[in-house]
Amino acid sequence: MKSYLAPLLLVSLVPCAQAADGPAIDPKLLSEEVKTLSSDAFEGRGPATAGETKTVEYLSAQFKAVGLAPGGDLKNGKREWTQAVPLARSEIQGPIKLELKAGGMEQLLKQGEEIAVRAAQDGSAQVSFEDVPLVFAGYGVKAPERNWDDFKGVDLKGKIAIVLINDPDFETGKGDFGGKAMTYYGRWTYKYEEAARQGAKGLLIVHETAPASYGWATVKNSNTNTMFDIVRDKPAAAHPAFEGWIQRDFAVDLFKKSGLDFDALKKQAQTREFKPVVLKDATLSANYAVNREVITSHNVVGRLEGTKRPDETIVYSGHWDHLGVGAPDAKGDKIYNGAVDNATGIASLIELGRAFAKGPKPERSIVFLAVTAEEKGLLGSEYYSANPLYPLASTVAVLNVDALSPYGPTRNFTTSGSAKQELLDQLVETAKKWNLAYETDPKPEAGHFFRSDHFPFAKRGVPAISYGSGDDWIDGGVEAGKKAEDAYTADRYHQPADEWEASWPFTGLVRDLQVLHAVGADLANSTRWPNWDANSEFRAARDATAAQRK
């Protein structure tokens, strides 16, 4: 009788785990780890601060304790727990002089008002140019797989391009760029990268609230402060010297002074036939100094070596950093604890590591990658992707976790944006076994796919996804789930109040992790290489390395 009763008792104690088999994941451990990582002692986990030292020590010790091997930088033939991530920190120093000449008039521009200029990240210590011509280049898109080229061979050397935000079919709602949903061509990071490839002196993006999905205040705040980038061999290959945004009204007026109609040109830019247009009698001059300094932060890396195909890798990633110590809130709290964002993800990596280390050894290797400086622009993941410890060509998939729910179990899950690929199909199928339905990103126009740590991998062709918790709670439904989500966004997200709570059950996260574990285990014990859909902008980059996956 006893042997019959015991499993029954177990089932009734863990009511949410009955749907499918998975490793036993202890919600109490998740809670403890989130509590520790988000405690004031960790000072909000700012990169290159005392909070980093503590986080790296804690995480290395946890990875070791659960049975992972160090998977970081090689030193004297041995792997360390960390990968050093040099970051360039750039700041405009002293006065900024910006002068526009248009329609026979001269105007001094004010930083943060009609224009927001980013501190140069191309390595310039001084940005200084005079009477540089301005060229409207549509959406600034060159997409060979879509037979689209806004530049049409026009030489942008020594010129500043002005482009629109989002991609050419955002406003029309249908076309070659996914309609309202944003492709990578719509993201501002792409536009600067493309401008650098075109050899432009600079790029100005016209801010419009709907296609950007945020207002001018966000543009102003995030572009006029300190800029961070990974240290690159050739920073000028990724950044033009002059990068910034201009307000829409200012752009309309500027076009008018050059005898052009902004709205008419925008309509043209939504067609393949569009050709760049020089703004007649309009030039820009600039002069300001840029202070550049290199700081070193770290990714933390644990690894389980595959038994049969150790050179093939599945990556679980999540960012360990948060905002550190900053402006106090109304209560005087200055520590941005980042309990949900992203201590939940880091606790997830630890417990996934424990589950894999305890379970049957995987045939392919599994890397647990806790990246730094996500909050500064996905820099730890960008650095790893640009300097991979394990080759990207033989990296099977990346499953990223960021800001997961500490609440109870749900009936659904989501992903940060969605791009068509087999890895997503596999995730959706697997989740069904736990009765979790897939909820697509409700705001695909916001480009969430490009704003999480899986993206630097995706950009280089590696199948990659960021998992997101669902909002349809088994206990309380969508109403309760949405309410909690809205309260988090309003009162806690990126605020000192993102703090651990003793009442959090973490039982939903247990299920989410069982799903993610199943997807990774399935890939780790197969010879499959999931790929992107044929018309995906990431497919070509993956196919280019196909020969290395034989």
Residue ranges in contact with Zn ion by CB under 5 A? 341-342, 402-403
- For residue 400, cis peptide bond before it (omega within 30 degrees of 0): no
Helices of type H across 433-476: 455-459
The angle, 0 to 180 degrees and rounded to 10, between the axes of the packed helices 422-432 and 507-524 is 130
Residues with Cβ within 8 Å of 295's Cβ and at least 6 positions away in sequence, in order, are 47, 48, 86, 87, 89
Least distance in Å: CB of 313 to Zn ion?
A: 23
Rounded CA-CA distance 372/505 in Å is: 27
Nearest CB to Zn ion, comparing residues 83 and 342: 342
- The least CB distance from residue 430 to Zn ion, in Å, is 24
Provide the 3-class DSSP secondary structure of residue 36: helix
Minimum gap (Å) between residue 402 Cβ and Zn ion: 4
As a whole number of angstroms, the longest Cα–Cα distance in the chain is 95
Cα 550 to chain centroid, rounded: 30
Find the shortest distance in angstroms from Cβ 218 to Zn ion: 17
Nearest to 314 by CA among 70, 66, 83, 524: 524
CB of 210 to Zn ion, least distance (A): 25
How far, in Å, CA of 211 to CA of 206, rounded? 10
- Nearer of residues 49 and 536 to Zn ion, judged by Cβ: 49
In the bound state with Zn ion, the residue whose beta carbon lies nearer, of 31 and 342, is: 342
Based on CB atoms, which residue is closest to Zn ion, 453 or 471?
Answer: 453
For Zn ion, give the closer residue by CB, 235 or 380.
380
In whole angstroms, the minimum distance from the beta carbon of 316 to Zn ion comes to: 15
Single-letter code of the amino acid located at 298: H
Indicate the residue among 403 and 431 with the shorter CB distance to Zn ion.
403
3-class DSSP string for 353-396: HHHHHHCCCCCEEEEEEEECCCCCCCHHHHHHHHCCCCCCCCEE
- Which SS3 state, helix, strand or coil, does residue 493 take? coil
H/E stretch holding 520: helix 507-524
The least CB distance from residue 407 to Zn ion, in Å, is 17
Between CA 203 and CA 118 the distance in angstroms is: 11
Question: Which CB sits closer to Zn ion, 402 or 537?
Answer: 402
Pick the closest to residue 177 from 219, 146, 223, 151 (CA basis).
146
DSSP structure string for 256-291: HHTT--HHHHHHHHTSTT---EEEEEEEEEEEEEEE
For residue 502, the surrounding DSSP H or E stretch is none
Closer Cβ to Zn ion, 404 or 518, answer by number: 404
Place of tokens 């002069």: 287
Q: How far is the CB of 319 from Zn ion (least distance, A)?
A: 6
Q: How far is the CB of 468 from Zn ion (least distance, A)?
A: 11
Q: Nearest to residue 528, comparing CAs of 517, 519, 537, 541?
A: 519
CA distance 338 to 345: 11
Amino acid at 376: K
Residue 379: CB minimum distance to Zn ion, A: 13
